Structure 1
């Protein structure tokens, strides 16, 4: 059995110069994409906070109907989080703070009666904004008690 091994006259691989050019191109592309990436992160934070607030309002309303008792949510300082409590002070939910966002509620508290309708806070609106961006969400609560979320600042 005759086997011959021939050595390549040229080794395969990357040179240091080629590697440095690729790293430089990746750095340039990453630098160009960074501002849009940070804007995406801010937008997602605003969306997540508005969604958490919306979910808490739905929970408060459904628990009021289920327990046939008043359920309230204090919205005076939403930046530090919020709690949902029943009329007999049973804690239903505690929300962690959203420190990097600003909340602008029109009413200091929102309370649902046993029928799921607002007993206080009728027509309440809460704007969730980011101080570092123009991104915002508006949560409105109609007179029946249903919350709705929309993009933009509440008017």
Structure 2
């Protein structure tokens, strides 16, 4: 009986000493599966990132339009918001027109984000209404030609962001 127990215990010790680490075949199998998974996930992840860039810029622009309107009401004067460069995607600046005081500023968006149909500037009067331009403001934000969001500003000065391109 003791001889059989000794035989079993020595076999266990020997097996545990051998079973350490990974074999090359196991490592290559895991690497191949990871490569396949990354090839499948990468395109959808890129689209997800672009939609998040557009959503972020739309949120910032909507919030800053509301800020400009509120500043016009608070200061009882005209406040404008204008693009910093050639496009709203280059960032924008909020300025009180009476004292030429800068109220806020936003930096340029990610390079993949474009803004179409944006006016040269938007001015709110002391009542919080859109003073200029006279027409309803609609700007379409997009990234890589997809992931559209529409920023709408009615004449009363309320801004909102809607999923999809502007009509």
TM-score normalised by the chain length of structure 1: 0.90
Deviation at 1:138, TM superposition (A): 0.3
The residue matched to 2:152 in structure 1 has which SS?
strand
The two structures, once aligned, show a CA RMSD in angstroms of: 1.7
Deviation at 1:15, TM superposition (A): 1.1
Match of 1:59 among 67, 92, 95: 67
Quote the residue 1:135 is aligned against.
147
Long gaps (5+) in structure 2: 1-5
Matched positions, count: 151
Contact 2:137–2:152 (8 Å) recurs in 1: yes
Long gaps (5+) in structure 1: none
Q: Does 29-38 or 102-111 show the bigger shift? A: 102-111
Contact 1:84–1:91 (8 Å) recurs in 2: yes
Find the aligned partners of 1:95 and 1:138 in 2 and give their Cα distance.
19
1:103 aligned onto 2:103: no
Measured against aligned partners, the alpha-carbon deviations of 1:105-142 in whole angstroms (never above 9, x if no partner) come to: 35321111111111112411111111x24111100101
Quote the residue 1:91 is aligned against.
102
1:18 aligned onto 2:26: yes
Q: Does 57-66 or 99-108 show the bigger shift? A: 99-108
Higher Cα Rg, which structure:
2
Find the aligned partners of 1:116 and 1:47 in 2 and give their Cα distance.
25
1:9 aligned onto 2:27: no
TM-score normalised by the chain length of structure 2: 0.83
